[in-house]
Amino acid sequence: MKIAYILNTYPQPSQSFIRREIRALEAAGHEVLRFAMRATTDTLVDPQDKAEVGKTEYVLAQGVGALAAAVWQMVRKDTAAFFAAVQATWKMGRASNVGVLRHLIYLAEACYVAGRCEADTLSHAHAHFGTNAAAVAMLAHLLGGPEYSFTVHGPEEFDSPLALSLGTKVHHAAFTIAISQFGRSQLCRWSDPDDWDRIEVVHCGIEPDRFDQTEPLKKGPRRIVAIGRFVEQKGQLALIDAVAQATSKDIHLTLIGNGEMRGQIEALIASHRLADRITLTGWVDETRIRAELDAAHGLIMPSFAEGLPMVVMEAMAAARPVIATYVAGTPELVLNGKTGWLVPAGDVHALAQAIDDFAATPLSKLSKMGEAGRARVFERHHAGKEAAKLADLMRR
């Protein structure tokens, strides 16, 4: 198959799962053309992300002239379809938080994408996230472009389902993907029951070859790592408070990531006098992430809201137990007491207690938990197998 991937900003350091999915489809013999609305403003440190830039066609970078020409071509080709798309654009814009004008830009982007799909005889379009990329895919389809599908990750889509016209996008899609059963339940909440049978679960995947060997847990002070954007929903401030509250003082925490809350995080670390026990690395590439996981005894994910974090899958694949919160699809993967610890989101005391329990657990038991997690994630989140499910849905 020849498939269009329609994305908003691509690649991004926090969205390696999209790259893995595309690569798995290509490894299975499918041709994938990447259409992103814009390039990231973040600094890309991973060579694999940098390579994706050269493979991606950036729609807005084509300029106003190219988009205007694409709109005119669509008007001339099928006036009725164009004005049906305008009507859908108007309805989505009126319901949204960003307005009709922004959605008219999405319509122009859709005209360009639909023209490119026709020129390259692409058989299917797939978008990631139920935001503007899904809107472009839907409008391109209404303009005569290929059937489309989209993957909803959460939590952002579930925070604003009406403003995103999520039910409308599900209705027009050939099928919609949730990354967990929890995600599917939320899509059912905001879509017509007649559309429920076209909502499928396809997990984000890891590449087992990258985790063919694991490092044994090392003796000595316990090291734990947290990975994610420095934003409110990731819960890093609660994590720092929990480290300060924990009775075990030989825990070292490494925070991998960056974002708008870095200043607040640094200030809180200083106020608790934890600079010698907490390290901030900024964004790093996948090789460094793997090295940090190998050096750690476990991963901690204190999020207030999530979809189903890739870093949890990667930690489990590296045979590291996980401390995480009871949010979204995480309990479908992390089993409390078997592959790690689950605590209520936002409960600093419970998070501190889990850190103390982790510190007091013998290495032999931590290793068994890590191996159980490794077996579980390989069973449920194999990138090749999950991409094959997606490709099969596209064929059907």
- pLDDT of 41 over the 90 cut: no
pLDDT of residue 15: 84
- pLDDT of 317 over the 80 cut: yes
Pair type for strands 56-58 and 148-152: unpaired
What percent of the chain has a predicted confidence (pLDDT) above 70? Answer: 100
DSSP 127-189: EESSSHHHHHHHHHHHTT---EEEEE--SHHHHSTTTTTHHHHHHHSSEEEESSHHHHHHHHH
Positions of E strands within the chain = 2-9, 31-38, 56-58, 124-128, 148-152, 175-178, 199-201, 223-227, 252-256, 278-282, 298-301, 322-325, 340-343
Banded pLDDT at 285 (limits 50, 70, 90): confident
pLDDT of residue 44: 87
What's the mean per-residue pLDDT of the chain?
Answer: 96
- pLDDT of 2 over the 80 cut: yes
CATH 3.40.50.2000 in the chain: give the residue spans: 2-205+382-395, 211-380
Provide the 8-state DSSP code for 61: G
- d(CA 182, CA 379) in angstroms, rounded, equals 19
pLDDT of residue 105: 98
Domain 211-380 annotated CATH 3.40.50.2000: yes
343-353: average pLDDT: 97
pLDDT of residue 92: 98
pLDDT of residue 295: 95
188-198: average pLDDT: 98
pLDDT of residue 159: 93
Check: CB of residue 169 under 8 Å from CB of residue 199: no
179-193: average pLDDT: 97
Task: Tell me the pLDDT tens digit for each residue of 147-156.
Answer: 999 999 989 8
pLDDT of residue 188: 98
pLDDT of residue 271: 97
- d(CA 211, CA 378) in angstroms, rounded, equals 10
- pLDDT of 43 over the 90 cut: no
332-348: average pLDDT: 97
Banded pLDDT at 14 (limits 50, 70, 90): confident
- pLDDT of 22 over the 90 cut: yes
pLDDT of residue 153: 94
Q: Partners of 58 in the beta sheet?
A: 36
According to CATH, the topology of domain 2-205+382-395 is Rossmann fold (3.40.50)
How distant, in Å, are the alpha carbons of 228, 254, 265, 332, 349 from that of 235? 10, 14, 10, 20, 14
Q: Which residue has the tokens 């960003």?
A: 98
pLDDT of residue 130: 97
The residues, any chain, with a CB within 8 Å of residue 228's CB and separated by 6 or more, are 14, 234, 236, 256, 257, 301, 303, 309, 311
171-199: average pLDDT: 97
pLDDT of residue 45: 84
How distant, in Å, are the alpha carbons of 254, 307, 308 from that of 180? 28, 8, 7
Banded pLDDT at 286 (limits 50, 70, 90): confident
Query: Is the pTM higher than 0.85?
Result: yes
Task: Tell me the pLDDT tens digit for each residue of 247-282.
Answer: 999 999 999 999 999 999 999 999 999 999 999 999
Task: Tell me the pLDDT tens digit for each residue of 58-70.
Answer: 999 999 999 999 9
pLDDT of residue 147: 98
What percent of the chain has a predicted confidence (pLDDT) above 90? Answer: 91
- d(CA 59, CA 74) in angstroms, rounded, equals 16
